[in-house]
Amino acid sequence: MTTKTSPEDGQPIPETVVQQSILHQAQAAATNLASPTEQEAFLHDIDLVNPDDDIPPPAYGDTYGEIRNEKDAPGTSASVTDDGRVNIRINHLNRRLSQIFTPALHQEIQSDQDDRPPPPPYIPPSLGGEEGIPPPPPLNVVIQVVGSRGDVQPFVALGRVLKDTYGHRVRLATHPTFKDFVQENGLEFFSIGGDPSRLMAFMVKNPGLVPGFRSLMGGEVSQRRRDVSEYIQGCWRSCYKAGDGMDFDETSEPSDNDPAARPFVADCIIANPPSFAHIHCAEKLGIPLHIMFTMPYSPTQAFPHPLANIQSSNADAQLTNYISYSMIEVLSWQALGDIINRFRAKCLGLDPVSMIWGPGMLQRLKIPHTYCWSPALIPKPKDWGSHISVSGFYLLNLASNYAPTPELQAFLDAGPLPIYIGFGSIVWDDPNAMTELIFEAVRKTGQRVLLSKGWGGMGADELRIPDNVFMLGNVPHDWLFKQVSCVVHHGGAGTTAAGIAAGRPTLIIPFFGDQPFWGAMVARAGAGPDPIPHRQLTANKLADAINFCLKPSSLERARELANKMAAERGTDMGAQSFHQYLQVDRLRCTLAPSRPATWRIKRTQIRLSAFAACTLANAGLLDFHDLKLYRPQEYYTDEGPLEPISGGTMAFAGSVSSARAAGREFGLGWYDGVTGLFTQPWRGAQREGSYIIASRTAQGYDEWLQSSDAEKEDVIVRWKLIQKYLKKKLDPEMVRDLLEA
């Protein structure tokens, strides 16, 4: 262990003690400098559901779950049914409809046609890329995921590639129940709170993104809103807080032995849409955002929103499909928009987003999207712009480390291939009744069955288990599905991908979300029968569908799809898509290009990494009053499609707003710390950034401790080389050419 000397008594101090002291001091300084409102958000969860403010709810209808306007023409509405689906009626003659949706459609189509394709992605030589091309700098990547195990698992696969192939530090921010699963796969975990089993129970009753009437009356919606409030604040903490988020106590320090204890500030965000906080956190930090999802979330004319039930429309089919996405997103904002805006105001210090332009924000800003499904199942729609890609499924290989129990192996060896039936994270109202229904269907088919217990409590002890049924615990799907003849499940994207990848015909019993979508896609591809919604399931229907799966034609089509998927390398393609939209060169430190930039020198384009800034400060070569936090990406979230006159006015207002947003960079003052080397922020740390400054400062010191003398000397030499050119305000390319000469 290396040591430093105390300036008071000359006694050596272990560097680990120094580091912990510095982290604590930086944290305390940031907290003390924050405004009372922001400090409260920093130290404690804020009540975003029952606040004492005057932020109004969105005025799309008289009640949650309804959009209706019949003043100028009848019949334009969207309403949530008792089971959570969204019934949509469209009258394209309705003036209100035209005002809200038609400009957005025209703008999006024209904008997508004008899109420039992104530059080619960096491909590592190990994956066939060209030698000699510098890789991206190692970034702090936070992946924010809300959902079940099936939602989390694809991002674990992606995180492993980002870490092992590209060298990034990857933090997966999700529910605490998945901590062991994430860490077992070598990734850092951060808890955003929330109970996915409670979420699953809610979603079974409310298959859409918005609740049915019974849930409204039963008070479950209030709990759902509290859950959203909890995890969006957890997502924000995942962007800057050290540790795993399990013990939300800002005064405690994580263990030295935990890799997650190192200072962390996100350089970029990957998120699935239901995490909700993504764009707002990215706007606050000024960092890149990439949305990834398992079902269509971007408006298209090719097919309607997976949750939409189009009851009637006198618009053409393409317009109807496109509008369905907008109407469902409006309903989602109606339910949660007030919470989102309180989150922006009270936790992030950002202005509220207009309730008119909140829906469709990700599309208007052209946030990069990658959809992790197989293009062999669903090709990319032609009207999606170049900022949207379809990569292939993200598959996690768990089979190599799995060995079946003796009991399971004995059952497999005792007869022909069984069928698999399982519903993953679904929580049943009456698991015994569903178990008995499955037993009856199995008796009708004469097949052997592997039945997964899942979260729903299938196969309770009081039920007699038939001899041809084996009750399964937790078994990796990539191993298990190779041992069966066909698979029956709820239609989660990960389970669907595993079944098709194994070449097994698939029957889907959908409950909510993207599950009906995947059931329809599998049936359209010929790899299984039409899906059976769980409320319509009977023993006879289940038996007939299983027999359909066992037809030779179904088996052959499933094998064909498996062969195509094997060539797609979806997880690698998803990682390449992520890097393709990063504009990597703007993320590099000017003096240490292999490190990401976190600071910018005022009035110049010189970007410094946390390490380079700390190195120059410790050498007495840098006045930190001249530093600002570097913001590689700006977002203008309150601009929307308007008619030309007010659109011009909004463009002017937007330029003023964007200048104000770009000014959210913070100057620093520094004073010597306990070692005489490290300094902490104390002056100019405004309410919007004090704790980010503290985390970046601690990050720089941590990296400085771990770096070699040669790395530090190289930064100093390069800094001295460009000194006489700073006043000339050279552009970044000229500075780079100078340093490379």
* Residue 126 resides in a domain: no
* Burial of residue 633, with CB atoms counted within 10 A of its CB: 0-12 exposed, 13-18 middle, 19 or more buried: middle
The range of the structural domain enclosing residue 210 comes to: 66-111+140-393
What is the Cα–Cα distance from 78 to 95, expressed in whole angstroms?
A: 16
Domains held by the chain: number = 3
According to DSSP H, which parts of 414-455 are helical? 431-445
How big is the chain by its Cα radius of gyration, in Å?
27
* Residue 572 resides in a domain: no
**Residues 476-512 pLDDT 10s:** 898 999 999 999 999 988 899 999 999 999 999 998 7
C-alpha distance across the termini of the chain, in Å: 39
* Residue 635 resides in a domain: no
Q: Tell which of 368, 393, 418 closes a domain.
A: 393
Residue pair 307/325 in contact (Cβ under 8 Å)? The answer is no
* Residue 403 resides in a domain: yes
Tell whether the torsion through CA atoms of 427, 433, 437 and 438 is positive or negative.
Answer: positive
pLDDT of residue 613: 93
Record the tokens describing residue 478, joined without a space.
């990539």
Same domain, 431 and 481: yes
Same domain, 431 and 526: yes
With bands split at pLDDT 50, 70 and 90, how would you rate the model's confidence at 216? Answer: very low
Same domain, 355 and 472: no
What is the Cα–Cα distance from 565 to 497, expressed in whole angstroms?
A: 9
Same domain, 679 and 704: yes
CA nearest 22: which of 719, 740, 670? 670
**Residues 41-75 pLDDT 10s:** 554 577 777 665 555 444 434 344 445 544 444 45
Average pLDDT taken over every residue of the chain: 77
Question: Strand, helix or coil at 256?
Answer: coil
* Residue 21 resides in a domain: yes
pLDDT of residue 88: 61
Name the strands in the sheet holding 66-69, side by side, starting at the edge strand that comes first in the sequence. Answer: 66-69, 76-80, 86-90, 308-313
Residue pair 344/53 in contact (Cβ under 8 Å)? The answer is no
596 has a pLDDT exceeding 90: yes
What is the Cα–Cα distance from 565 to 506, expressed in whole angstroms?
A: 15
pLDDT of residue 602: 87
Return phi, psi of residue 548, to 5°.
-65, -40
Q: Map 95-127 to HEC letters.
A: HHHHHHCHHHHHHHHHHHHCCCCCCCCCCCHHH
What one-character DSSP code corresponds to residue 259?
G
Same domain, 455 and 543: yes
Q: What whole-number percentage of the chain has pLDDT above 90?
A: 42
Residue 133 CB partners (closer than 8 Å, separation 6+)? 122
The strand pairing partners of 601, in sequence order, are 627
19 has a pLDDT exceeding 70: no
What one-character DSSP code corresponds to residue 188?
E
With bands split at pLDDT 50, 70 and 90, how would you rate the model's confidence at 208? Answer: very low
Q: Tell which of 338, 359, 393 closes a domain.
A: 393
**Residues 161-175 pLDDT 10s:** 999 999 999 999 999
327 has a pLDDT exceeding 60: yes
* Residue 43 resides in a domain: no
Record the tokens describing residue 499, joined without a space.
């079944």
233 has a pLDDT exceeding 70: yes
Same domain, 467 and 381: no
pLDDT of residue 59: 40
Same domain, 517 and 369: no
* Residue 88 resides in a domain: yes
With bands split at pLDDT 50, 70 and 90, how would you rate the model's confidence at 34? Answer: very low
Residue 601: count of CB within 10 angstroms of its CB? 18
What is the Cα–Cα distance from 741 to 738, expressed in whole angstroms?
A: 5
Q: Give mean pLDDT, residues 548-564.
A: 94
pLDDT of residue 22: 45
Q: Tell which of 359, 393, 427 closes a domain.
A: 393
Same domain, 154 and 87: yes
DSSP string, 687-738: TTTHHHHHHHHHHHHHHHHHS-HHHHHHHHHHHHHHHHHHTTT--HHHHHHH
Residue 465: count of CB within 10 angstroms of its CB? 14
pLDDT of residue 688: 38
pLDDT of residue 671: 28
Return the residue matching tokens 């019993």. 509
Q: Give mean pLDDT, residues 249-255.
A: 47
Q: Find the helix packing angle between 570-580 and 149-164, rounded to 10°.
A: 70
Residue pair 141/170 in contact (Cβ under 8 Å)? The answer is yes
**Residues 633-642 pLDDT 10s:** 999 876 554 4
Q: Give mean pLDDT, residues 535-555.
A: 95
Same domain, 436 and 561: yes
The enclosing domain of 435 has a CATH number of 3.40.50.2000
Same domain, 228 and 245: yes
* Residue 657 resides in a domain: no
Record the tokens describing residue 722, joined without a space.
């460009």
Same domain, 389 and 404: no
Residue pair 194/175 in contact (Cβ under 8 Å)? The answer is yes
Same domain, 100 and 191: yes
